[in-house]
Amino acid sequence: MATRKSGPLDAMVGARIRMLRVNRGISQATLAERIGVTFQQVQKYERGANRVGASRLAQIASVLDVSVGEFFESSRPGPRGLDSPVHLLAEPGALRVLKAYARTPSPRVRSCIAKLVESIADRSSGTKATVARLNTVDLGERRKFPSRG
């Protein structure tokens, strides 16, 4: 008898479940209750640790108001990891940051936010971050955002 070990497709489906659930503002506990499992089981589905059966996937799709195909849309060969929007949005907090960014009306402020986040990421990844990247804001913009120091 073949073992039913989870694989990369299971992880991708789990990431899609998480992204769609978070996007709809549904908690793991609520999703779990609606499909008849524990919230720990939903966590395992989302991490790709456990496989999601076809009937369970249909239940999840119904609760999230999507077609079952939505969970497989990104399964085509293509970018993975940091190049994949699905994997990026599945990161904890990513959708929250993106929604806040989208609510920011000023293109200049958006640019500053992007540069700030890139600088923080460069520092935490071990790459030497330079202030030069943040200093690319022109003098006109600096006058609009006076320093408090």
pLDDT digits over 66-92, tens only?
Answer: 999 888 865 445 445 555 666 677 677
Tell me, yes or no, whether 96 lies in a domain: no
pLDDT digits over 25-80, tens only?
Answer: 999 999 999 999 999 999 999 999 999 999 999 999 999 999 998 888 654 454 45
- Of 147, 4, 12, 8, the closest CA to residue 87 belongs to 12
Using DSSP's 3-state secondary structure scheme, residue 126 falls into coil
Is the pLDDT reported for residue 123 higher than 70?
yes
pTM for this model (two decimals): 0.54
* Residue 97: per-residue pLDDT: 86
- Of 76, 26, 67, the closest CA to residue 46 belongs to 26
* Residue 126: per-residue pLDDT: 61
Q: Pick from 3-12, 109-118, 132-141 the range whose average pLDDT is largest.
A: 109-118
- Are 14 and 73 within one domain? yes
**CATH number, position 40:** 1.10.260.40
- Are 79 and 12 within one domain? yes
How many domains, the chain? 2
Tell me, yes or no, whether 116 lies in a domain: yes
Which residue, of 91, 118, 136, is where some domain finishes? 91
